[in-house]
Amino acid sequence: MTLRKLSDLKILLENKPVKRLVLAAAHDTQSLGAVLKAAANHIIQPILIGDEEEIKKLAGEGNHDLNGIRIINEPNIEKTSEMAVKMVHNREADVLMKGKVGTSTLLKHILNKSWGLRTGHLLSHFAIFEVKTYHKLIAVTDVAMNIAPNLKDKISIINNSVNCLNILGIDMPKVAVLGAVEMVNESMQATMDAALLSKMNQREQIKNCIIDGPLAFDNAISLESAIHKGIKSEVAGDTDLLLMPDIEVGNVLYKSLVFFARAKVASVILGAAAPIVLTSRSDSEQAKYDSLLLAAATAK
Amino acid sequence: MIKSLEQLAELVKDKKDKPKLAVTWAQDENTLGAVEKAARANMVDAYLYGDRARIESISSKLGLDIDLFKIQHVDNELEAAKETVRLVKSGEADILMKGLIGTDKFLKSVLDKERGLMKPKAVLSYVCAVDVPDYHKLLFITDTAVLPFPDLDQKVAMAEYAIEMAGRFGIKKPKVALIGASEKMTKHFQNAVDYAIMCKMAERGQISLCTMDGPLDIFLACDKKSVEIKGVDTPVGGDADILLFPTLESCNPFYKGLMLFGRGELAGMLMGTEVPVVLMSRSESEKSKFYCIALSCLMAGKNN
């Protein structure tokens, strides 16, 4: 299956029960707006935890309909996080979303050993882009969560992302491990890790995907460029997932795709018991909405 | 393509422009026997540097045809080393061979930065072509003798040398198996890490043309049935031409096991030098010693 547009994700929701999303500290203009819009389009079924009075006020200001929507009144922000995480833990909700609460506060609860959302996997950020100049959606990881992943982390990050892409109907995603060059260079750890990841994939120690790397960005996304360089690769030019060497590269690529290439993006945190939506204030309305779409499509 | 060591020896015989072999401190029974055999087979012209009286007495004791030798008397082993190295370096001889001189002294002359025989920045290593009746083709193995714990760069050099040697035997795209205890990739084994990196380097053309895979155990490298049973997807597929070992201590016992229990014969030489250098263990069979000289003739390139 090939996904060309973020709106194609909606096809994956057809004929399936609407996923339940719990919004922690829901009295937040931006996230509340996105959630209510998604609810109106039957993308998700929201549960709002937060200051009820404030929620109603904000919904009114944004002309959103709260009819039939479950609200749990809890003005204490710390408490809203705990309650939201527990609801997901107890399978009363399928997706967790951050509202007016700090990321670190929410993460603390997510990582709680007795009632958090740990699965033994590393948490990682997964972003999927619709870029006009590429022939299909392209996923990028990790641009926001893991700062300088080591080899073991990279394996987890790939596994999280591949699992997600499998759920999205891409059976054997092509994974490009990015470097500055396509050659192995002992002075560049990213290229060394890429070689190891390729071998582990070849030995089926990393499954359900095809990994090649190091690939420079151009080789990864342009077949012409790969041919020009004489690279024989199943991945080159047809990449489904780009693995970033570190957060700096990832973050800059993410932002240049959005700002220079006018790409549309959806993102979600993977590796927990349920997908987590952690959009930031700088994300566009569209990005928030599409992230909910992605989370709903990814949720069990 | 040269498919056996016997064929190799036949191929390098009776050439018009046969190579000149310079032997350092030649008065050694083992060495003289092998050199005489090679000279008698019309493979090389033998230039012996050593104690003339000792060379003559050994030759007569062993019944060697002394007319096949051009003997140059020198007083001691260091002089012999200095003279023979100078001879090959200046192009007056084509192959250098160690006689009775200690290996460390011999190698010291070979490795000498100014007067020695190393190619610029080259790694010194050792490759053997092994002929075992139970394997369907020649097997090139490295490093049996020089590098105790090769690092990544040295392993790459070892692979390059083996590929070069296989090329001289007519194997254009050799299958290189990087040997480990298992085929699993784990970062806890430095060798496995090096191997994964090398495979990618080969894929990207950073290593000469070959089909490379590793880590592989010997079964997966050399036995198609094991590949089937284990279901490992490997391009080497039990049909390896080259086995690269992680350490000298794994490679050396492997080849000796093949010689002793597998009725194998070998031809080996140093690699990384400007001209072929023959250096062999005393316990090698008479045949293997002869094959070592034959190999050096092939690698000297004069007879191709």
Q: CATH fold of B125-261, please?
A: Isopropylmalate Dehydrogenase (3.40.718)
Q: Which of the four pLDDT bands, split at 50, 70 and 90, describes residue A1? A: confident
* Tens-digit pLDDT profile for residues A188-203: 999 999 999 999 999 9
Structure letter (DSSP) for residue B118: B
Whether A184 and B197 lie within 8 Å, measured CB to CB? yes
Q: Which domains does chain A have, with CATH numbers?
A: 6-119+272-298 (3.40.50.10950), 124-264 (3.40.718.10)
Compute φ and ψ for B35, nearest 5 degrees.
-65, -40
Query: What's the rounded Cα separation, in Å, for the pair B285 and A75?
Result: 89
Looking at residues B42-52, what average pLDDT do you find?
96
Chain A hits for B173, Cβ within 8 Å: none
* Tens-digit pLDDT profile for residues A258-293: 999 999 999 999 999 999 999 887 888 889 999 999
Looking at residues B110-132, what average pLDDT do you find?
96
Q: Are A48 and A35 contacting, i.e. CB atoms less than 8 angstroms apart? A: yes
Give residue A300's pLDDT.
86
Looking at residues B98-121, what average pLDDT do you find?
94
Residue B167 to residues B124, B171, B204, Cα–Cα distance (Å): 19, 5, 20
CB-closest option in B184, B201, B232 to A184: B201
CB-closest option in B152, B204, B232 to A183: B204
Whether B204 and A184 lie within 8 Å, measured CB to CB? yes
Whether B196 and A151 lie within 8 Å, measured CB to CB? no
Closest residue by Cα to residue B47 from B86, B91, B96, B82: B96
Whether B197 and A182 lie within 8 Å, measured CB to CB? no
Looking at residues B232-252, what average pLDDT do you find?
96
Q: State percent of chain B over pLDDT 70.
A: 99
User: Angle, to 10 degrees, between the axis of helix B190-203 and the axis of helix A189-202?
Assistant: 90
Instruction: Name the minimum distance, in Å, from the CA of B295 to any CA of chain A.
Output: 33
Give ipTM to 2 decimals: 0.81
Residues in chain A whose Cβ is within 8 Å of chain B: 151-152, 182-184, 186, 192, 194-196, 198-200, 202-205, 214, 230-232
* Sign, Cα dihedral of B24, B28, B31, B34: positive
In sequence order, which residues have a C-beta less than 8 Å from that of residue A287 and are 6 or more positions away? A258, A264, A265, A266, A267, A279
Closest chain B CA to residue A199: B196
Looking at residues A207-220, what average pLDDT do you find?
96
Whether B197 and A202 lie within 8 Å, measured CB to CB? no
CB-closest option in B185, B197, B233 to A200: B185
Give residue B304's pLDDT.
40
For chain B, what are the domain ranges? 5-118+273-300, 125-261
Give residue B67's pLDDT.
96
CB-closest option in A184, A186, A204 to B200: A184
Query: What's the rounded Cα separation, in Å, for the pair B144 and A43?
Result: 66
Instruction: Name the minimum distance, in Å, from the CA of A115 to any CA of chain B.
Output: 33
Whether B197 and A192 lie within 8 Å, measured CB to CB? yes
Looking at residues B81-108, what average pLDDT do you find?
95
CB-based contact, B197 to chain A, within 8 Å = yes
CA B54 to centroid of chain Cα atoms: 28
Whether pLDDT at B303 is above 70: no
* Tens-digit pLDDT profile for residues A14-73: 989 999 999 999 999 989 999 999 999 999 999 999 999 999 999 999 999 999 999 999
* Tens-digit pLDDT profile for residues B272-299: 999 999 998 878 888 898 999 999 999 9
Burial A27-64 (b: 16+ CB within 10 A, else e): bbebbbbbbbbbbeeebbbbbbbbbbebbeebbeeeeb
* Tens-digit pLDDT profile for residues A121-160: 999 999 999 999 999 999 999 999 999 999 999 999 999 9
Query: What's the rounded Cα separation, in Å, for the pair A26 and A49?
Result: 6
Q: CATH fold of B5-118+273-300, please?
A: Rossmann fold (3.40.50)
Number of Cβ within 10 Å of residue A277's Cβ equals 25
Question: Which of A153, A203, A204 has the most B C-beta neighbours within 10 Å, making it the best mutation to test the interface with B?
Answer: A203
Whether B205 and A230 lie within 8 Å, measured CB to CB? yes
The residue type of A181 is: V
Query: What's the rounded Cα separation, in Å, for the pair B276 and B103?
Result: 16
Query: What's the rounded Cα separation, in Å, for the pair A298 and A163?
Result: 9
Number of Cβ within 10 Å of residue A255's Cβ equals 13
Give residue A283's pLDDT.
85
Strands of B28-180, DSSP E: 45-50, 69-73, 95-98, 125-131, 139-142, 175-179
Query: What's the rounded Cα separation, in Å, for the pair B268 and A150?
Result: 42
Query: What's the rounded Cα separation, in Å, for the pair B266 and B129?
Result: 6
